[in-house]
Structure formats: C-alpha cells, structure tokens
Structure 1
Amino acid sequence: MQSLSQWRDRAEMLTPPFPWDRPRWRDRGGETVVLLHGLWRGWRAMQPLARALEAEGYSTLNIPYPSARLPIGTLANHVRSHIEKVASDRPVNFITHSLGGILARAILSENPSWATGKVIMLAPPHGGSEIVDWSRNHPLLHLALGPAGRSLGTDGAPTTLPFLPAGTDAAVIMGSRCSIPIFKGLLGDQNDGIVSADRGKIEGLKGFSVIDADHTFIQMHPETIRLSLQFLKDGTWPA
C-alpha cells in the first residue's frame, strides 16, 4: 500500500513542465549530481531522487529542458550550458531518466572531462523504442513526440550517437513492470511499458539491473535509490 508521502511524490512527478521552470541547484557541499528528466516531463519528475541524494550530502543540479520541442543536439547544448555554470573542481555525476540518458551520451562525448564522475541511467532507450517505430503509423502521436522523441526509433539517433567515453563508470537500471498494456505486444518480454529492457544496454557498462518498476516512476523506486547511492559512493554494482 502506498504511503501518503509516496502519493505526494507521484503527484509531484506527474506535474507537467512550465515555461518558467528553471534549473534547481542545491549545494550540499558534496559531489555534484546532474539530474535529467525524460520526454514530456519536467524537473519535478526527478525531485524524489534529488531529495534522497541531498540527504546523503550530494549537491544536485536538476535541469529542465524543452524535451518535446527541439532535437537532441540542441537539447544537449541547452543542458551543457547549465552544467558549465556549476562545474568546478568537484566531480560531476549524472543520473538520468529515459531521453535524459541519450542527452548524457551526447554531452559526455563532447565533454569527456565530465566523464570522471559516475553515470546512472534509468530506462534509457539506447537501442531505441519499438513504440516510436509504431508511432510512425499514427501521425498525431508521432508529431507529439517532438524532434528528439521521433529520433528514438530502433533505427534512430540512439544507435548512431557516440558511446560513452572510454573508462566512464556507467550503469543502467531498467524496469520490468508494464503499466501500459496497449504497448505490451510491441515490446520485448521484459519491458517497462515504454522501453524493452534489452534496449537499455550499451557498450562499456559497469552495471546493469532490471527491477520491478514501470517507466513513469522508476526514479522513486527504493531499489533505484539504493543502487544509485551505492554506485555513487564506491562504484560497486551487485553481480
């Protein structure tokens, strides 16, 4: 049964982005963790995770970006400009959700010095998503995905972007709970309703786990938080 605080977190995460949203920087004195939300979402989608990180002494930079309006390269430049404002002598880590993981790949390929920190990607469509392929036969949905979303097909941008810089400490967490039954038949045996678990894999990962979570709320899952904090702390991942 969900607690009151969990329902509050879910409501916050579903709050749509607003034009006046700005990056949220919380300096707690520790290493910086950059948080990047996914398609159609806003910074509030990452706030439960941000609070857990801040409680452990990490500084957080939770960056909103117009995910459904611009192509991946332009979005990456937008995010990069905000990271540069706080990047210092402290390591920069990333925790991303969905499209945010693709942006992290684009950013780190151009800024390899930032790859000295940890990178944790939640439900990233590194191999694209079959749902984007399917949307090509449904023009309104395909249009609503925006330039970045439309490029996330199984033959699209995720398969052509550079891999992470060599030596990057990166891990991926995928979900296996399908909360959108209409899409279940389009995806692999293990999926979160949006992305098949196998499509989250990418060359050079230090860790890969599939947990009982759906695509929308994987950020607040206790196992996501536990694995992320452990990886940030000592770089270890369960076998």
Structure 2
Amino acid sequence: MKREIRLPAFRHSFTGWSDTALFAGWHVQRHVEENRHRLVDPDGGVVAEGRADVMLERWRNECGDGGHAGDRVLLLHGLSRTGRIYHRLGRVLHDCGFTVLAPSYPSLRQSLDDHARDMRCLLDCQPGHARLSLVGHSLGGLLVHRLVDGPGEWKGRLALTAAVLITVPHKGSRLGAMLARHQAAARLAGPSLADCLPGRQRLASFGDLPTLNILGLTGYRTGFNPVLGSDNDFILTEDEMRLDDPVREARIPSPHGVIHGSPRTAMLVRDFLCEAHGLPHGRTIEGKGDIKR
C-alpha cells in the first residue's frame, strides 16, 4: 500500500473520483479513467492510495461491523453535483436516527450504467444487516430505478424499504435534447446526458415498495420557465416528471436546481421515510393535502 501526505479529496463532477465504498465517513474511491483507488477519511483527507483490495481492507478496519448503525438512507445526486448537496436533508434524516450515505460520483464523466455499477459496489460493501431507503434527485432518481431493478449482493442483507424520487426525468428531458444538439455542450455534460434524453429511460416497477415522486411545480401554466409551454421546474415539465406507476405524488413549488435543498422537501422526505421505516420522529403523512396516492 502506498502512503502519501494527507491531502484534501476534492469532490466535483469534473474530477474522476467515484465512491465505491462509504460508511462512518470513510470512503474508498476509484478514479474512473486511471483505475487508481484511494482511502479518504471523515475529514475529507486522502490518507492512502493503493490496490482496491488493500484500500477496502483498510476501510473495513476503520468502519467496524456496522452494528451501531440504524436504518440507512442512500442519497443520490444529479448531473454536475456531488453528495454535498444533501447537507440539509442529510442532517434532518440523521436527527431522526437514520444512517445517511451521500456518495459522490463523476456524473460528467460516466454513464448511468457506470454510476449504477459503483453504487451497487458501495451497497455490497455495507456492513451488517439493515433496512435501506433510496432517495434520488434528477439523474440520481434514474439511478434509483437502476438499483431497484438490477442485481446486487446487498439485497440479501439490506431490506429495501422505500424510495423517493425528486424531479426525475422519467419521460426524458426535451430541454436536454436541445442541449445535446450542440456538440460542445454535449461533450461538457458527458455520457450521462444521453441517459436523460426522451426514450432512453429504463424504469423500474416499484410494485408494493412505498414510493414518493416529488414534482417541482408552480401550479401555473408557465411554470418557472415559460419557454417549456406548461407547468415545469425550469428544466422538466410536469409530464416529463410523472410516473405511470401508482405511487404517492407531491408538488413543491421550487426550481429543479435547488429543490433538493428546500426545507419543505426535507420535511416531506423525512415524514415519508419515517412512516415507511416505522420511526416515531416524523409526523404521519396520511391526509396531507400536497401528497397524492
């Protein structure tokens, strides 16, 4: 194992580092182009680099067996973001007793299938047995679909309990299709942009899994972006965000780029997940006017 001077682990979608293991603040990260691996401590410092198996062994020694952890929530970010966008929601869920996992992955440098592979690895590495819920914003919501529908060793140890989808392009994004026509913009947005285009979605069937679909809508025909011609969250229209499955639905009048940090979103997600997990911290959401079954 190669040891280095402790350096800050910069996280941004332009960088090539993707979390492949995460618990108790300790990360194992893989560089998606150079196939290097590193260990990052809870303070965000790189403490070692080396082979994947060596980093994972060191990570397990630092994290322990996970016996102290409660129910877990995996928070998945969208295009050009990092897990740090969930600071408000993560704090709210932590205060309710959840163990919060908010990984980062280079959304501008990998496809959705690549992100799904890394997140399956992250879940496969989770210590112990627990209940798990998935929360995804935008591209992260499409990643939730991949995890629900795909294979994974984690499904034998982590009981999937609920899913929350926040302004997700379930029918694709016409605005994204316009962007993709410009070569420079498409190159900047990376391979994941193609996964957000109309007709490219592979959606899971949620069945009996409690699922909440949050739409960022104003209630007015013009929405946040009059160019789109119907109510919208500035990026996605109402029909692009809707699911055909009979899931719960909520509307929050907040633009696409900031809805994940809205206090109203945090309270709504908290209440929904606390109900699904049977935790006493959240208020019941039965009968709330802004939630539809």
- 1:188–1:106 Cα change, 3 Å: farther
The Cα shift of 1:21 comes to 7.1
The RMSD of aligned alpha carbons is 2.5
TM-score by length of 2: 0.67
The Cα shift of 1:186 comes to 4.5
Return the index of the structure with the highest Cα Rg: 2
- 1:133–1:115 Cα change, 3 Å: farther
Q: Which has the higher helix share?
A: 1
- Indicate the larger mover: 20-29 or 191-200: 20-29
Structure 1 residues 188-218: Cα deviation after superposition (integer angstroms, max 9, x where no partner): 5221111112212223243111211111111
- Indicate the larger mover: 129-138 or 36-45: 129-138
Structure 1 residues 97-152: Cα deviation after superposition (integer angstroms, max 9, x where no partner): 11001011111111484673110011111111111111133221122221111231
- 1:30–1:79 Cα change, 3 Å: same
TM-score by length of 1: 0.81
* Number of residue-to-residue matches in the alignment: 218
Segments of structure 1 that go 5 or more residues without pairing to the other structure are: 1-14
> Runs (4+) of structure 1 moved beyond 6 Å?
none
- Contact residue 109 and residue 163 of structure 1 kept, 8 A: yes
- 1:88–1:189 Cα change, 3 Å: farther
Segments of structure 2 that go 5 or more residues without pairing to the other structure are: 1-10, 25-65, 277-284
SS in 2 for 1:63: coil
- Alignment counterpart, residue 273 of structure 2, candidates 221, 225, 232: 232
1:38 paired with 2:78, answer yes
C-alpha separation in 2, matches of 1:188 and 1:25: 44
- Contact residue 76 and residue 106 of structure 1 kept, 8 A: yes
More RCO (CA 8 Å, sep 6+) = 1
SS in 2 for 1:151: helix
C-alpha separation in 1, matches of 2:233 and 2:142: 17
Aligned to 1:65: 105
Code of the aligned partner of 2:92: A
SS in 1 for 2:102: strand
Aligned to 1:25: 23
Once the two structures are aligned, what percentage of the paired residues are identical? 24
Structure 1 residues 42-61: Cα deviation after superposition (integer angstroms, max 9, x where no partner): 11112221111111111011
- Alignment counterpart, residue 137 of structure 1, candidates 181, 189, 193: 181
Q: Which has the higher strand share?
A: 2
C-alpha separation in 2, matches of 1:94 and 1:46: 13
SS in 1 for 2:239: helix
